[in-house]
Each structure stands twice: as C-alpha cells, then as structure tokens.
Homo-oligomer: A and B are copies of this chain.
Amino acid sequence: MSTQIEIVLTPINREQYAVKSPPHNAGAIVEFFGVVREDEAGSAIQGIDYEAFRDMAEHQLQLLIQKAIGDHDLLDMLCVHRIGFVPVGAPSLYIRITSSHRAEAFAAMTEFIDKLKKLVPIWKHPIPKDQE
C-alpha cells in the first residue's frame, strides 16, 4: 500500500505517479482527472486560480482517503490537487484507486469526489478570458 496525497503548484504529471507494478491481487485501477472547462457559470475563462488552506486540505484529503480505503477495502489510493493558476484544458485533480474488483473502486471514487467537494478547503477564482 502506498497511499499518498499531494497538493502541487505545477502541472499534474501522471507519469510521475505511475504504478510500476500493481499488487497481484489488483483487478481494477480507476483514474479520474478533473479538468478546467472553458466556461465557468456561463462565462468564458482562461483558467481558474485555486486558493487552498494547504495544510488543512492535505489533512482532510488524508482523512477522506483513509475512510475510502477502510470503507471499500481498497489496495491503493492516490490524490493530487493542483492549486494556483490552472489553465483551461489542464487537470486540477487526479485520483487513482486500485482495488481487487471494479465495483469497489467506482463506488469509492464517486464518494470520495463528492466528499472532497464538500470538505477540502480549496476555492476557485475563475479568471475571465479578456483579463490580462
């Protein structure tokens, strides 16, 4: 088990977190990228500036990951959130879950994202397209 969380200021590079060889009881790996869309609340944007209470965000992510692993019997889980300015088309969030069976991984993933969006202290500041 190599659980980790990371809050980064630089682009999320999936390769950096690649699983060299998954545990031999792994049957499913589910990955999620949350990507910044070209519009926010109907207005064209160039990106989103994410503000975080970083220490608390890391701590809360860690709590949510421990709960996900316990509730769904996961083999491994990783969550990376990018903060600062993230341009349209780039991922702000990357999550990977490894489990024996796919149902557990999908259930854990959707629950985890729902909770992250309620409890992890990170906020969006959309940057309009016409602003320098």
Contacts and interface: CB of A to CB of B under 8 A. Distances in A.
Interface of A: 15, 21-22, 24-39, 88-89, 91, 100, 102, 106, 109-110, 113
Q: How many copies does the complex hold?
A: 2
12 contacts: A24-B37, A24-B38, A24-B88, A24-B89, A25-B37, A26-B35, A28-B32, A28-B35, A29-B31, A29-B32, A34-B102, A106-B109
Nearest to A39: B25
B100 A110 contact: no
A36 to B, nearest CB: 8
B34 A31 contact: no
Given A28-B33, A29-B33, A37-B26, A113 B109 contact: no
Given A24-B37, A24-B38, A37-B100, 11 more contacts: A15-B15, A25-B39, A26-B35, A26-B37, A27-B35, A28-B32, A29-B31, A29-B32, A30-B32, A31-B32, A34-B102
Contacts of A109: 106
A26 B102 contact: no
A36 B30 CA distance: 14
A21 B89 CA distance: 7
